[in-house]
Chain A
Amino acid sequence: MSLVAPTLPAGRYRLRNVVRSEAIKVLTLPSTAITLGLTVVAGLLVTALVSHGASFRGFGFDSTQVALTGMIVAGLAGGVFGALLITGEYSSGTVRATLSATPRRPMVLAAKVVVTAVIMVGFCEVLSFASFFLGEAVLSGRGAPTATLGSPNALRAVLMTGLFIALLALMSFGFGLVCRNAAGAIASFAGVVFVLPLVMHAVSQSTVRYLPTNILANSVMSTVNQGGGPGGTGPLSAGVGLLLMAVYATAALVAGAVLFMNRDA
Protein backbone atom coordinates (compact mmCIF):
# COMPACT_ATOMS: atom_id res chain seq x y z
CA MET A 1 0.00 0.00 0.00
CA SER A 2 2.71 2.39 0.98
CA LEU A 3 4.59 4.23 -1.73
CA VAL A 4 7.70 3.80 0.36
CA ALA A 5 8.39 0.11 0.07
CA PRO A 6 9.84 -0.82 3.44
CA THR A 7 12.84 -3.02 2.93
CA LEU A 8 12.62 -5.08 6.06
CA PRO A 9 15.39 -7.48 6.97
CA ALA A 10 14.46 -11.12 7.29
CA GLY A 11 13.33 -12.48 10.63
CA ARG A 12 12.38 -10.24 13.49
CA TYR A 13 13.94 -8.55 16.47
CA ARG A 14 15.29 -11.02 19.00
CA LEU A 15 16.26 -11.19 22.63
CA ARG A 16 19.90 -10.43 21.81
CA ASN A 17 18.85 -7.10 20.20
CA VAL A 18 16.93 -6.12 23.30
CA VAL A 19 19.71 -7.27 25.64
CA ARG A 20 22.23 -5.17 23.71
CA SER A 21 19.91 -2.20 23.89
CA GLU A 22 19.37 -2.62 27.63
CA ALA A 23 23.12 -2.91 28.18
CA ILE A 24 23.66 0.37 26.27
CA LYS A 25 20.93 1.96 28.40
CA VAL A 26 22.55 0.99 31.70
CA LEU A 27 26.06 1.86 30.60
CA THR A 28 25.13 5.28 29.20
CA LEU A 29 23.51 6.45 32.42
CA PRO A 30 25.98 8.46 34.51
CA SER A 31 24.15 7.30 37.65
CA THR A 32 25.33 3.71 37.02
CA ALA A 33 29.00 4.57 37.38
CA ILE A 34 28.28 6.95 40.26
CA THR A 35 26.19 4.42 42.23
CA LEU A 36 28.61 1.57 41.71
CA GLY A 37 31.66 3.77 42.35
CA LEU A 38 30.25 5.07 45.63
CA THR A 39 29.36 1.53 46.62
CA VAL A 40 32.96 0.43 46.19
CA VAL A 41 34.24 3.33 48.27
CA ALA A 42 31.62 3.08 51.03
CA GLY A 43 31.66 -0.73 51.14
CA LEU A 44 35.43 -1.02 51.41
CA LEU A 45 35.53 1.81 53.95
CA VAL A 46 33.04 -0.01 56.18
CA THR A 47 35.00 -3.25 55.83
CA ALA A 48 38.24 -1.45 56.77
CA LEU A 49 36.68 0.31 59.75
CA VAL A 50 34.96 -2.78 61.12
CA SER A 51 38.03 -4.96 60.59
CA HIS A 52 40.06 -2.33 62.34
CA GLY A 53 37.75 -2.04 65.33
CA ALA A 54 36.33 -5.55 65.73
CA SER A 55 37.12 -7.33 68.94
CA PHE A 56 38.68 -10.71 68.19
CA ARG A 57 39.42 -11.97 71.68
CA GLY A 58 35.97 -13.29 72.48
CA PHE A 59 34.41 -16.58 71.54
CA GLY A 60 33.06 -17.15 68.03
CA PHE A 61 35.19 -14.67 66.09
CA ASP A 62 34.62 -15.25 62.37
CA SER A 63 37.37 -13.54 60.41
CA THR A 64 35.64 -14.01 57.01
CA GLN A 65 32.36 -12.64 58.27
CA VAL A 66 34.07 -9.52 59.62
CA ALA A 67 35.96 -8.99 56.36
CA LEU A 68 32.68 -9.13 54.41
CA THR A 69 30.83 -6.55 56.57
CA GLY A 70 31.11 -3.87 53.91
CA MET A 71 28.93 -5.96 51.61
CA ILE A 72 25.92 -4.85 53.65
CA VAL A 73 26.49 -1.42 52.12
CA ALA A 74 26.54 -3.11 48.72
CA GLY A 75 23.21 -4.70 49.62
CA LEU A 76 21.70 -1.27 50.21
CA ALA A 77 23.23 0.14 47.01
CA GLY A 78 22.15 -2.91 45.02
CA GLY A 79 18.59 -2.41 46.21
CA VAL A 80 18.59 1.21 45.10
CA PHE A 81 20.28 0.35 41.80
CA GLY A 82 17.84 -2.45 41.00
CA ALA A 83 14.82 -0.29 41.76
CA LEU A 84 16.07 2.70 39.77
CA LEU A 85 16.81 0.62 36.68
CA ILE A 86 13.10 0.14 36.13
CA THR A 87 11.50 3.11 37.91
CA GLY A 88 13.76 5.48 35.94
CA GLU A 89 12.09 4.17 32.80
CA TYR A 90 8.68 5.07 34.14
CA SER A 91 9.57 8.47 35.59
CA SER A 92 11.24 9.56 32.35
CA GLY A 93 8.72 7.96 29.97
CA THR A 94 11.50 5.88 28.38
CA VAL A 95 9.37 2.78 28.91
CA ARG A 96 7.03 3.97 26.16
CA ALA A 97 9.94 4.41 23.76
CA THR A 98 11.14 0.94 24.74
CA LEU A 99 7.79 -0.72 24.13
CA SER A 100 7.31 1.16 20.86
CA ALA A 101 10.60 -0.27 19.62
CA THR A 102 10.14 -3.75 21.09
CA PRO A 103 6.49 -4.42 21.94
CA ARG A 104 6.96 -8.01 23.15
CA ARG A 105 6.87 -7.35 26.86
CA PRO A 106 8.09 -10.72 28.17
CA MET A 107 11.18 -10.27 26.01
CA VAL A 108 11.76 -6.72 27.26
CA LEU A 109 11.50 -7.92 30.84
CA ALA A 110 13.77 -10.90 30.24
CA ALA A 111 16.40 -8.61 28.71
CA LYS A 112 16.24 -6.22 31.65
CA VAL A 113 16.56 -9.05 34.18
CA VAL A 114 19.48 -10.57 32.27
CA VAL A 115 21.34 -7.25 32.10
CA THR A 116 20.66 -6.39 35.75
CA ALA A 117 21.69 -9.86 36.89
CA VAL A 118 24.90 -9.94 34.86
CA ILE A 119 26.00 -6.50 36.01
CA MET A 120 25.10 -7.12 39.64
CA VAL A 121 26.61 -10.60 39.86
CA GLY A 122 29.83 -9.42 38.22
CA PHE A 123 30.08 -6.29 40.32
CA CYS A 124 29.13 -7.89 43.64
CA GLU A 125 31.49 -10.84 43.21
CA VAL A 126 34.42 -8.55 42.49
CA LEU A 127 33.52 -6.32 45.43
CA SER A 128 33.02 -9.32 47.69
CA PHE A 129 36.53 -10.60 46.94
CA ALA A 130 37.97 -7.10 47.33
CA SER A 131 36.24 -6.69 50.68
CA PHE A 132 37.51 -10.08 51.85
CA PHE A 133 41.13 -9.38 50.95
CA LEU A 134 41.05 -5.86 52.38
CA GLY A 135 39.42 -7.00 55.63
CA GLU A 136 41.85 -9.88 56.08
CA ALA A 137 44.80 -7.55 55.43
CA VAL A 138 43.58 -5.12 58.10
CA LEU A 139 42.89 -7.95 60.56
CA SER A 140 46.28 -9.52 59.98
CA GLY A 141 47.94 -6.14 60.66
CA ARG A 142 46.31 -6.21 64.09
CA GLY A 143 47.43 -9.72 64.80
CA ALA A 144 43.87 -11.04 64.66
CA PRO A 145 43.05 -14.57 63.46
CA THR A 146 42.81 -14.41 59.68
CA ALA A 147 41.28 -16.53 56.97
CA THR A 148 42.34 -17.27 53.41
CA LEU A 149 40.21 -18.45 50.52
CA GLY A 150 41.47 -21.92 51.47
CA SER A 151 40.03 -21.71 54.98
CA PRO A 152 36.93 -23.84 55.64
CA ASN A 153 33.85 -22.27 54.02
CA ALA A 154 35.65 -18.96 53.30
CA LEU A 155 35.42 -19.20 49.48
CA ARG A 156 31.81 -20.31 49.80
CA ALA A 157 31.01 -17.28 51.97
CA VAL A 158 32.71 -14.82 49.61
CA LEU A 159 31.03 -16.21 46.48
CA MET A 160 27.59 -16.55 48.03
CA THR A 161 27.67 -13.06 49.50
CA GLY A 162 28.14 -11.60 46.02
CA LEU A 163 25.32 -13.74 44.63
CA PHE A 164 23.03 -12.90 47.54
CA ILE A 165 23.40 -9.17 46.95
CA ALA A 166 22.72 -9.58 43.25
CA LEU A 167 19.49 -11.36 44.28
CA LEU A 168 18.63 -8.48 46.62
CA ALA A 169 19.00 -6.11 43.65
CA LEU A 170 16.70 -8.31 41.54
CA MET A 171 14.11 -8.40 44.32
CA SER A 172 14.22 -4.62 44.43
CA PHE A 173 13.88 -4.54 40.63
CA GLY A 174 10.69 -6.56 41.14
CA PHE A 175 9.45 -4.02 43.69
CA GLY A 176 10.21 -1.27 41.17
CA LEU A 177 8.17 -3.09 38.53
CA VAL A 178 5.23 -3.27 40.91
CA CYS A 179 5.44 0.32 42.24
CA ARG A 180 6.68 2.02 39.04
CA ASN A 181 8.13 4.85 41.11
CA ALA A 182 11.43 5.11 42.93
CA ALA A 183 10.03 6.28 46.26
CA GLY A 184 7.65 3.33 46.59
CA ALA A 185 10.18 0.76 45.44
CA ILE A 186 13.03 1.94 47.64
CA ALA A 187 10.69 2.30 50.63
CA SER A 188 9.49 -1.29 50.09
CA PHE A 189 13.06 -2.50 49.83
CA ALA A 190 14.17 -0.64 52.95
CA GLY A 191 11.08 -1.89 54.73
CA VAL A 192 11.85 -5.52 53.99
CA VAL A 193 15.58 -5.30 54.57
CA PHE A 194 15.86 -2.89 57.51
CA VAL A 195 12.49 -2.48 59.22
CA LEU A 196 11.04 -5.97 59.00
CA PRO A 197 13.89 -7.53 61.06
CA LEU A 198 13.20 -5.07 63.90
CA VAL A 199 9.50 -5.80 63.87
CA MET A 200 9.87 -9.56 63.57
CA HIS A 201 12.46 -9.60 66.32
CA ALA A 202 9.84 -8.23 68.69
CA VAL A 203 6.95 -10.29 67.37
CA SER A 204 8.33 -13.70 66.60
CA GLN A 205 12.00 -14.47 67.24
CA SER A 206 11.83 -17.81 65.46
CA THR A 207 10.96 -16.30 62.08
CA VAL A 208 13.80 -13.77 62.07
CA ARG A 209 16.14 -16.30 60.50
CA TYR A 210 14.04 -16.34 57.31
CA LEU A 211 14.52 -12.63 56.65
CA PRO A 212 16.99 -11.49 53.97
CA THR A 213 19.07 -9.38 56.34
CA ASN A 214 19.50 -12.22 58.83
CA ILE A 215 20.24 -14.75 56.12
CA LEU A 216 22.95 -12.49 54.74
CA ALA A 217 24.64 -11.76 58.08
CA ASN A 218 24.23 -15.07 59.90
CA SER A 219 24.05 -17.70 57.17
CA VAL A 220 25.74 -16.50 53.99
CA MET A 221 28.58 -14.33 55.29
CA SER A 222 29.36 -16.73 58.12
CA THR A 223 31.84 -19.58 57.77
CA VAL A 224 30.47 -21.41 60.78
CA ASN A 225 28.49 -24.40 59.62
CA GLN A 226 25.00 -23.54 60.76
CA GLY A 227 23.37 -26.66 59.49
CA GLY A 228 20.02 -25.27 60.59
CA GLY A 229 17.38 -26.62 58.28
CA PRO A 230 13.84 -25.29 58.25
CA GLY A 231 13.09 -27.52 61.23
CA GLY A 232 15.58 -26.02 63.68
CA THR A 233 15.67 -22.65 65.37
CA GLY A 234 19.21 -21.38 64.66
CA PRO A 235 20.31 -19.55 61.51
CA LEU A 236 19.64 -21.34 58.22
CA SER A 237 22.49 -23.04 56.42
CA ALA A 238 24.09 -20.87 53.73
CA GLY A 239 22.69 -22.99 50.89
CA VAL A 240 19.14 -22.96 52.20
CA GLY A 241 19.40 -19.25 52.92
CA LEU A 242 20.59 -18.41 49.41
CA LEU A 243 17.87 -20.58 47.93
CA LEU A 244 15.24 -18.80 50.03
CA MET A 245 16.57 -15.43 48.86
CA ALA A 246 16.26 -16.67 45.27
CA VAL A 247 12.63 -17.53 46.03
CA TYR A 248 12.00 -14.03 47.41
CA ALA A 249 13.58 -12.38 44.37
CA THR A 250 11.62 -14.62 42.00
CA ALA A 251 8.36 -13.88 43.81
CA ALA A 252 8.93 -10.12 43.53
CA LEU A 253 9.87 -10.46 39.85
CA VAL A 254 6.85 -12.64 39.05
CA ALA A 255 4.49 -10.20 40.77
CA GLY A 256 6.08 -7.33 38.82
CA ALA A 257 6.01 -9.30 35.58
CA VAL A 258 2.30 -10.12 35.85
CA LEU A 259 1.52 -6.43 36.31
CA PHE A 260 3.94 -5.39 33.53
CA MET A 261 2.27 -7.73 31.02
CA ASN A 262 -1.23 -6.54 31.79
CA ARG A 263 -0.98 -2.86 32.62
CA ASP A 264 -1.12 -0.06 30.05
CA ALA A 265 2.32 1.44 29.63
Chain B
Amino acid sequence: MITAHALTKRYGTKTAVDDLTFEVPPGQVTGFLGPNGSGKSTTMRMIMGLDLPDAGSALINGKPFSDLTWPLREVGGLLDAKAFHPARTARSHLRWLAATNDIPVRRVDEVLDTVGLTSVGGRRAGKFSLGMSQRLGMAATLLGDPGVLLFDEPVNGLDPEGIRWVRHFLRGLAAQGRTVFVSSHLISEMALTADRLVVIGRGRLIVETSVADFVGRSGRNAVRLVTPDLPVFASALTGAGAELGDRDGDAVTVEGLTAAQIGDLAFHGRLRVHELTPITASLEDAFMELTHDEVEYRPSTLTGAPGAAREE
Protein backbone atom coordinates (compact mmCIF):
# COMPACT_ATOMS: atom_id res chain seq x y z
CA MET B 1 0.00 0.00 0.00
CA ILE B 2 1.29 3.42 -1.00
CA THR B 3 -0.31 6.55 0.41
CA ALA B 4 0.47 10.03 -0.82
CA HIS B 5 -0.95 12.87 1.20
CA ALA B 6 -0.85 16.51 0.05
CA LEU B 7 2.47 15.78 -1.62
CA THR B 8 4.11 18.95 -2.97
CA LYS B 9 7.42 19.61 -4.69
CA ARG B 10 8.63 22.95 -6.01
CA TYR B 11 11.63 23.76 -8.17
CA GLY B 12 12.16 27.47 -7.79
CA THR B 13 8.89 29.15 -8.69
CA LYS B 14 7.62 26.12 -10.62
CA THR B 15 5.42 23.66 -8.74
CA ALA B 16 6.18 20.21 -10.14
CA VAL B 17 3.85 18.32 -7.81
CA ASP B 18 0.96 20.19 -6.30
CA ASP B 19 -0.97 18.97 -3.24
CA LEU B 20 -1.22 15.43 -4.57
CA THR B 21 -3.25 12.92 -2.54
CA PHE B 22 -3.92 9.35 -3.66
CA GLU B 23 -3.72 5.72 -2.61
CA VAL B 24 -2.30 2.66 -4.31
CA PRO B 25 -3.95 -0.48 -2.91
CA PRO B 26 -2.48 -4.00 -2.97
CA GLY B 27 -3.57 -6.74 -5.36
CA GLN B 28 -4.08 -4.44 -8.31
CA VAL B 29 -2.08 -2.69 -10.97
CA THR B 30 -2.52 1.04 -10.50
CA GLY B 31 -1.57 3.07 -13.52
CA PHE B 32 -0.10 6.52 -13.00
CA LEU B 33 -1.07 8.55 -16.04
CA GLY B 34 -0.22 12.03 -17.11
CA PRO B 35 1.26 13.95 -20.00
CA ASN B 36 5.04 14.36 -20.20
CA GLY B 37 6.29 16.75 -17.54
CA SER B 38 3.21 16.37 -15.36
CA GLY B 39 5.19 15.30 -12.29
CA LYS B 40 4.95 11.49 -12.44
CA SER B 41 8.66 10.82 -12.03
CA THR B 42 9.06 13.46 -9.32
CA THR B 43 6.20 11.87 -7.39
CA MET B 44 7.78 8.44 -7.69
CA ARG B 45 11.17 9.77 -6.57
CA MET B 46 9.52 11.28 -3.49
CA ILE B 47 7.83 7.96 -2.68
CA MET B 48 11.25 6.28 -2.97
CA GLY B 49 12.85 8.84 -0.66
CA LEU B 50 15.20 10.16 -3.35
CA ASP B 51 13.69 13.65 -3.44
CA LEU B 52 12.42 15.43 -0.37
CA PRO B 53 8.87 16.82 -0.62
CA ASP B 54 8.41 20.50 0.21
CA ALA B 55 5.11 19.58 1.88
CA GLY B 56 2.97 16.52 2.46
CA SER B 57 4.06 12.94 2.80
CA ALA B 58 4.42 9.69 0.89
CA LEU B 59 4.11 6.53 2.96
CA ILE B 60 4.80 2.89 2.22
CA ASN B 61 2.75 0.54 4.37
CA GLY B 62 2.23 3.52 6.65
CA LYS B 63 5.90 4.44 6.97
CA PRO B 64 8.11 7.00 5.25
CA PHE B 65 10.69 5.36 2.99
CA SER B 66 13.60 6.33 5.23
CA ASP B 67 12.02 4.45 8.16
CA LEU B 68 11.83 1.10 6.36
CA THR B 69 13.90 -1.49 8.20
CA TRP B 70 14.77 -3.52 5.07
CA PRO B 71 13.88 -1.29 2.13
CA LEU B 72 14.54 -3.82 -0.64
CA ARG B 73 12.38 -6.38 1.13
CA GLU B 74 9.48 -3.94 1.32
CA VAL B 75 9.72 -1.88 -1.88
CA GLY B 76 11.11 -2.60 -5.31
CA GLY B 77 11.51 0.45 -7.49
CA LEU B 78 12.51 0.76 -11.11
CA LEU B 79 12.75 4.48 -11.74
CA ASP B 80 15.54 4.49 -14.28
CA ALA B 81 16.28 1.60 -16.63
CA LYS B 82 19.99 2.36 -16.68
CA ALA B 83 20.63 2.87 -12.97
CA PHE B 84 23.63 0.59 -12.94
CA HIS B 85 27.32 1.02 -13.66
CA PRO B 86 27.93 0.01 -17.29
CA ALA B 87 31.21 -1.73 -16.51
CA ARG B 88 29.77 -4.05 -13.87
CA THR B 89 28.20 -7.38 -14.84
CA ALA B 90 24.48 -7.89 -14.33
CA ARG B 91 25.18 -10.47 -11.66
CA SER B 92 27.61 -8.20 -9.78
CA HIS B 93 25.08 -5.39 -9.88
CA LEU B 94 22.49 -7.62 -8.22
CA ARG B 95 25.07 -8.98 -5.78
CA TRP B 96 25.94 -5.62 -4.26
CA LEU B 97 22.26 -4.74 -4.10
CA ALA B 98 21.47 -8.01 -2.33
CA ALA B 99 24.25 -7.38 0.18
CA THR B 100 22.70 -4.09 1.32
CA ASN B 101 19.63 -5.84 2.70
CA ASP B 102 21.29 -9.10 3.73
CA ILE B 103 19.58 -11.00 0.91
CA PRO B 104 21.16 -14.40 0.18
CA VAL B 105 23.20 -14.62 -3.05
CA ARG B 106 21.04 -17.47 -4.41
CA ARG B 107 18.24 -14.89 -4.79
CA VAL B 108 20.41 -13.20 -7.43
CA ASP B 109 20.27 -16.30 -9.62
CA GLU B 110 16.56 -16.74 -8.96
CA VAL B 111 15.63 -13.24 -10.12
CA LEU B 112 17.98 -13.44 -13.13
CA ASP B 113 16.07 -16.57 -14.07
CA THR B 114 12.68 -14.92 -13.51
CA VAL B 115 13.46 -12.15 -16.00
CA GLY B 116 15.23 -14.47 -18.42
CA LEU B 117 18.74 -13.02 -18.10
CA THR B 118 20.51 -16.09 -16.69
CA SER B 119 22.60 -16.61 -19.82
CA VAL B 120 23.90 -13.02 -19.86
CA GLY B 121 24.36 -12.59 -16.08
CA GLY B 122 28.14 -12.49 -16.53
CA ARG B 123 28.06 -9.84 -19.22
CA ARG B 124 28.71 -6.16 -18.62
CA ALA B 125 25.36 -4.46 -18.13
CA GLY B 126 26.53 -1.51 -20.23
CA LYS B 127 26.36 -3.73 -23.31
CA PHE B 128 22.68 -4.54 -22.71
CA SER B 129 19.91 -3.44 -25.04
CA LEU B 130 17.19 -1.26 -23.57
CA GLY B 131 14.92 -4.29 -23.20
CA MET B 132 17.60 -6.24 -21.34
CA SER B 133 18.34 -3.21 -19.14
CA GLN B 134 14.66 -3.00 -18.23
CA ARG B 135 14.69 -6.68 -17.34
CA LEU B 136 17.76 -6.20 -15.17
CA GLY B 137 15.96 -3.34 -13.45
CA MET B 138 12.95 -5.60 -12.88
CA ALA B 139 15.21 -8.32 -11.50
CA ALA B 140 16.58 -5.76 -9.03
CA THR B 141 13.08 -4.84 -7.85
CA LEU B 142 12.33 -8.51 -7.14
CA LEU B 143 15.50 -9.23 -5.12
CA GLY B 144 13.90 -8.69 -1.73
CA ASP B 145 10.54 -10.22 -2.77
CA PRO B 146 8.81 -6.95 -1.79
CA GLY B 147 5.07 -6.37 -1.41
CA VAL B 148 5.19 -2.95 -3.03
CA LEU B 149 6.58 -2.28 -6.50
CA LEU B 150 7.01 0.95 -8.48
CA PHE B 151 7.86 1.20 -12.16
CA ASP B 152 8.46 4.46 -13.99
CA GLU B 153 7.68 4.14 -17.71
CA PRO B 154 8.70 0.46 -17.85
CA VAL B 155 7.68 -0.08 -21.47
CA ASN B 156 9.36 3.00 -22.89
CA GLY B 157 11.37 2.07 -25.95
CA LEU B 158 10.53 -1.63 -25.82
CA ASP B 159 9.54 -3.70 -28.83
CA PRO B 160 6.04 -5.28 -28.94
CA GLU B 161 7.28 -8.53 -27.45
CA GLY B 162 8.99 -6.69 -24.62
CA ILE B 163 5.87 -4.63 -23.93
CA ARG B 164 3.78 -7.78 -23.78
CA TRP B 165 6.27 -9.40 -21.44
CA VAL B 166 6.18 -6.39 -19.08
CA ARG B 167 2.38 -6.38 -19.13
CA HIS B 168 2.20 -10.03 -18.06
CA PHE B 169 4.92 -9.47 -15.52
CA LEU B 170 3.09 -6.55 -13.86
CA ARG B 171 -0.28 -8.32 -13.90
CA GLY B 172 1.36 -11.41 -12.41
CA LEU B 173 2.82 -9.40 -9.54
CA ALA B 174 -0.56 -7.85 -8.76
CA ALA B 175 -2.24 -11.26 -8.94
CA GLN B 176 0.15 -12.40 -6.21
CA GLY B 177 -1.35 -9.68 -4.01
CA ARG B 178 1.38 -7.12 -4.39
CA THR B 179 0.92 -3.39 -4.70
CA VAL B 180 1.94 -2.41 -8.24
CA PHE B 181 2.24 1.25 -9.21
CA VAL B 182 3.26 1.91 -12.78
CA SER B 183 3.60 5.23 -14.55
CA SER B 184 3.13 5.73 -18.24
CA HIS B 185 2.15 8.27 -20.79
CA LEU B 186 1.03 5.45 -23.08
CA ILE B 187 -2.68 5.32 -22.42
CA SER B 188 -3.49 2.35 -24.61
CA GLU B 189 -0.91 0.33 -22.72
CA MET B 190 -2.45 1.29 -19.39
CA ALA B 191 -5.85 0.22 -20.70
CA LEU B 192 -4.45 -3.29 -21.05
CA THR B 193 -2.35 -3.38 -17.91
CA ALA B 194 -3.99 -1.36 -15.17
CA ASP B 195 -7.05 -1.96 -12.99
CA ARG B 196 -7.04 1.48 -11.42
CA LEU B 197 -5.78 4.85 -12.55
CA VAL B 198 -4.31 7.88 -10.87
CA VAL B 199 -4.37 10.63 -13.49
CA ILE B 200 -2.42 13.84 -12.99
CA GLY B 201 -1.79 16.95 -15.03
CA ARG B 202 0.62 19.74 -14.16
CA GLY B 203 1.33 18.06 -10.86
CA ARG B 204 -2.30 18.07 -9.74
CA LEU B 205 -4.64 15.12 -9.30
CA ILE B 206 -7.25 15.00 -12.04
CA VAL B 207 -8.96 11.77 -11.11
CA GLU B 208 -8.37 8.58 -9.15
CA THR B 209 -10.65 5.79 -10.29
CA SER B 210 -11.01 2.39 -11.96
CA VAL B 211 -10.18 2.05 -15.65
CA ALA B 212 -13.80 1.14 -16.50
CA ASP B 213 -15.18 4.12 -14.63
CA PHE B 214 -12.62 6.42 -16.23
CA VAL B 215 -13.74 5.46 -19.73
CA GLY B 216 -17.41 5.77 -18.77
CA ARG B 217 -16.87 9.27 -17.45
CA SER B 218 -15.94 10.54 -20.83
CA GLY B 219 -19.60 10.24 -21.86
CA ARG B 220 -18.74 10.36 -25.50
CA ASN B 221 -20.66 7.48 -27.03
CA ALA B 222 -21.31 7.35 -30.73
CA VAL B 223 -22.30 4.93 -33.48
CA ARG B 224 -20.54 4.48 -36.78
CA LEU B 225 -22.96 4.05 -39.65
CA VAL B 226 -22.13 3.03 -43.21
CA THR B 227 -24.99 3.35 -45.67
CA PRO B 228 -25.27 3.93 -49.42
CA ASP B 229 -28.44 5.94 -48.70
CA LEU B 230 -26.63 8.54 -46.64
CA PRO B 231 -28.39 11.70 -47.91
CA VAL B 232 -31.88 10.33 -47.05
CA PHE B 233 -30.65 8.62 -43.88
CA ALA B 234 -29.01 11.84 -42.70
CA SER B 235 -32.28 13.78 -42.70
CA ALA B 236 -34.05 10.91 -40.94
CA LEU B 237 -31.31 10.91 -38.28
CA THR B 238 -31.34 14.65 -37.67
CA GLY B 239 -35.14 14.45 -37.64
CA ALA B 240 -34.84 11.93 -34.79
CA GLY B 241 -32.60 14.33 -32.86
CA ALA B 242 -29.19 12.87 -33.71
CA GLU B 243 -26.04 14.83 -34.34
CA LEU B 244 -23.90 13.86 -37.27
CA GLY B 245 -20.16 13.93 -37.00
CA ASP B 246 -17.42 13.38 -39.57
CA ARG B 247 -18.48 12.01 -42.95
CA ASP B 248 -16.23 9.85 -45.03
CA GLY B 249 -17.82 8.57 -48.20
CA ASP B 250 -20.75 6.43 -47.10
CA ALA B 251 -19.68 6.46 -43.47
CA VAL B 252 -20.79 8.83 -40.77
CA THR B 253 -20.44 9.08 -36.99
CA VAL B 254 -23.77 9.51 -35.24
CA GLU B 255 -24.14 10.88 -31.75
CA GLY B 256 -27.30 11.09 -29.67
CA LEU B 257 -28.91 7.84 -30.80
CA THR B 258 -28.18 4.23 -29.90
CA ALA B 259 -27.38 1.61 -32.51
CA ALA B 260 -30.81 0.06 -31.85
CA GLN B 261 -32.60 3.34 -32.52
CA ILE B 262 -30.67 3.82 -35.75
CA GLY B 263 -31.48 0.26 -36.80
CA ASP B 264 -35.18 0.90 -36.19
CA LEU B 265 -35.01 4.09 -38.28
CA ALA B 266 -33.49 2.10 -41.14
CA PHE B 267 -36.21 -0.55 -40.93
CA HIS B 268 -39.05 2.00 -41.00
CA GLY B 269 -37.48 4.08 -43.81
CA ARG B 270 -36.44 1.06 -45.92
CA LEU B 271 -32.86 2.30 -45.85
CA ARG B 272 -29.85 0.05 -46.43
CA VAL B 273 -27.30 -0.44 -43.64
CA HIS B 274 -23.86 -1.83 -44.46
CA GLU B 275 -22.33 -1.29 -41.08
CA LEU B 276 -23.57 -0.22 -37.65
CA THR B 277 -20.93 -0.13 -34.91
CA PRO B 278 -21.25 1.38 -31.43
CA ILE B 279 -18.07 3.27 -30.53
CA THR B 280 -17.28 3.50 -26.84
CA ALA B 281 -14.88 6.23 -25.98
CA SER B 282 -11.38 4.85 -25.71
CA LEU B 283 -9.25 5.42 -22.67
CA GLU B 284 -7.25 7.69 -24.89
CA ASP B 285 -10.26 9.86 -25.68
CA ALA B 286 -11.17 10.06 -22.03
CA PHE B 287 -7.61 10.97 -21.17
CA MET B 288 -7.39 13.67 -23.82
CA GLU B 289 -10.65 15.17 -22.69
CA LEU B 290 -9.56 15.29 -19.06
CA THR B 291 -6.00 16.45 -19.53
CA HIS B 292 -6.70 18.82 -22.37
CA ASP B 293 -6.09 21.89 -20.26
CA GLU B 294 -3.26 20.33 -18.30
CA VAL B 295 -0.73 19.68 -21.02
CA GLU B 296 2.23 21.81 -20.19
CA TYR B 297 4.01 22.05 -23.48
CA ARG B 298 1.47 22.21 -26.26
CA PRO B 299 2.62 22.78 -29.80
CA SER B 300 1.23 26.09 -31.04
CA THR B 301 -0.13 26.36 -34.57
CA LEU B 302 1.42 23.80 -36.80
CA THR B 303 0.78 25.55 -40.10
CA GLY B 304 3.09 24.26 -42.75
CA ALA B 305 4.26 21.35 -40.65
CA PRO B 306 3.94 17.96 -42.27
CA GLY B 307 0.61 16.39 -41.37
CA ALA B 308 -0.50 19.65 -39.76
CA ALA B 309 -3.05 19.11 -37.01
CA ARG B 310 -6.59 20.02 -37.81
CA GLU B 311 -8.21 22.53 -35.53
CA GLU B 312 -10.96 21.01 -33.43
Contact = CB atoms under 8 A, between A and B. Distances in A.
B238 interface: no
Nearest to A25: B96
Contacts of A234: none
Contact of A103 (B61, B68, B99, B102): B68
A2 B92 CA distance: 31
Interface stretch (A58-66, A94-102, A128-136): A94-102
Given A28-B96, A94-B84, A6 B26 contact: no
Contact of B80 (A6, A28, A93, A104): A93
Given A88-B85, A96-B79, A97-B84, A9 B95 contact: no
Interface string B76-101: 01011011111111001001110111
A4 B99 contact: no
Interface in A1-15: 1-6, 8-9, 11-13
Nearest to B137: A97
Task: Give the interface size class of chain A.
Answer: 35 or more
B73 A4 contact: no
A13 B69 contact: yes
B65 interface: yes
Task: Give the interface size class of chain B.
Answer: 35 or more
Given A8-B70, A99-B49, A264-B52, A17 B102 contact: yes
Interface string B177-209: 111000000000000000000000000000000
B1 A1 contact: yes
B100 A4 contact: no
B48 A100 contact: yes
Contacts of B177: 2-4
Contacts of A205: none
Given A25-B96, A29-B88, A3 B27 contact: yes
A102 B177 CA distance: 25
B12 to A, nearest CB: 13
Contacts of A6: 73-74, 145-147
Contacts of B85: 25, 29, 88-89, 92, 94
A104 B70 CA distance: 11
Given A6-B73, A17-B102, A264 B45 contact: yes
B50 interface: yes
B102 A13 contact: yes
Contacts of B71: 13, 100-103
A4 to B, nearest CB: 4
A24 interface: yes
B297 to A, nearest CB: 22
Contacts of B73: 6, 8-9
B148 to A, nearest CB: 7
Contacts of B75: 100
Residue with the greatest number of chain B CB neighbours at <10 A, chosen from A88, A96, A100? A100
Contacts of B237: none
Contacts of A203: none
Interface in B1-56: 1, 25-27, 45, 48-52
A21 interface: yes
A264 B102 CA distance: 26
B117 interface: no
A102 B92 CA distance: 17
Given A3-B27, A4-B176, A8-B74, A103 B52 contact: no
Given A13-B69, A264-B52, A2 B97 contact: no
Contact of B65 (A4, A17, A103): A103
A9 B92 contact: no
B49 A21 contact: no
Given A28-B96, A93-B83, A265-B50, A13 B101 contact: yes
A17 B52 contact: no
A31 interface: yes
A232 to B, nearest CB: 48
Interface string A69-110: 000000000000000000011001110111111111000000
The 3 residue pairs across chains A and B that have the minimum distance between CB atoms: A3-B177, A12-B69, A28-B92
Interface of B: 1, 25-27, 45, 48-52, 61, 65-66, 68-75, 77, 79-80, 82-89, 92, 95-97, 99-102, 140, 145-148, 176-179
21 contacts: A1-B26, A2-B1, A4-B177, A5-B147, A9-B73, A12-B69, A13-B71, A13-B100, A17-B101, A17-B102, A24-B95, A25-B85, A28-B88, A29-B88, A93-B84, A94-B84, A94-B85, A96-B80, A97-B83, A100-B71, A101-B101
